[in-house]
Chain A
């Protein structure tokens, strides 16, 4: 690794320093090879098609319209291991007009399903919250089913800095 020590040595501040170039180049190459090796051990990511298929299955083929649902999540996630999410649906939550299901799907975790909530008019408010894992930067879709059989959704894209699910225990 980098044996040139002091952080503020004059050599490091000189832009044309060949030593610095070489050191940086080596560490980048090393980093890339480590990453490349890690990719092989990772579980397969889900794909956009798998997410679409999971949503189609949830909606049982019915049309899913954008609107009425609000998926609240930080657009930039520091740590993918615990990401707070809140889902609310615009609904009076009466016996005649209420939300029956709220489901959350993701695009690039190993599995497209995240969580399914089952509600009825006794909820009073169609608002749920939980904490989830995100393997990488990806799209999330919250879908709500109303008691009249209509489906509504909200799609959000999030950037994930530290991924979840992938690292094993320290060897």
Chain B
């Protein structure tokens, strides 16, 4: 069961810039480390993070093995209209996780 934590204001004034912080529980296994048996552990990382604001892509990121476990990403956006922000993480071994957060714009 994947857990994600997203921090953003519940409401914002139209035109204001606010920060979004997102963390997802994931080992980000690099594919460079040996396991207990001496064999290299297979890579298992999140490769892509996307944020849609009312179904429009506003931000995305490509992640590589150098991103720490439980990837943390913070960025900004401008409040335009009320609605929802959708966050998607996709990666190795068919990993997909989606979270949706409501935002009220006044």
Contacts and interface: CB of A to CB of B under 8 A. Distances in A.
Contact of A123 (B64, B65, B69, B78): B78
Contacts of A128: 73-75
A166 interface: yes
Contact of A166 (B17, B33, B80): B33
A122 B67 CA distance: 25
Interface in A139-157: none
A27 interface: no
A124, A125, A165 interface centre (most CB from chain B within 10 Å) = A124
A167 B33 contact: yes
B66 A170 contact: no
Interface in B56-95: 56, 58-69, 71-78, 80
A81 B72 CA distance: 13
A134 B61 CA distance: 19
Q: Is the interface of A mostly helix, strand, loop or mixed?
A: loop
Contact of A82 (B30, B60, B64, B68): B68
Contacts of B72: 129-131
Given A122-B78, A123-B59, A124-B76, A114 B36 contact: no
- Top 3 nearest A-B pairs (CB, nearest first) are A124-B17, A168-B34, A124-B78
Interface of A: 41, 43, 81-83, 106, 109-111, 113-120, 122-125, 127-134, 164-171
25 contacts: A81-B69, A106-B66, A110-B32, A113-B66, A114-B67, A115-B62, A115-B63, A117-B59, A118-B59, A118-B62, A119-B75, A122-B53, A122-B58, A123-B17, A123-B76, A123-B78, A124-B78, A130-B61, A130-B74, A134-B66, A165-B32, A166-B32, A167-B33, A169-B36, A169-B41
Given A111-B64, A131-B67, A165-B65, 17 more contacts: A81-B68, A109-B66, A111-B66, A113-B66, A114-B64, A115-B61, A118-B59, A118-B61, A122-B78, A123-B78, A127-B76, A128-B74, A129-B74, A132-B67, A133-B66, A168-B34, A169-B33
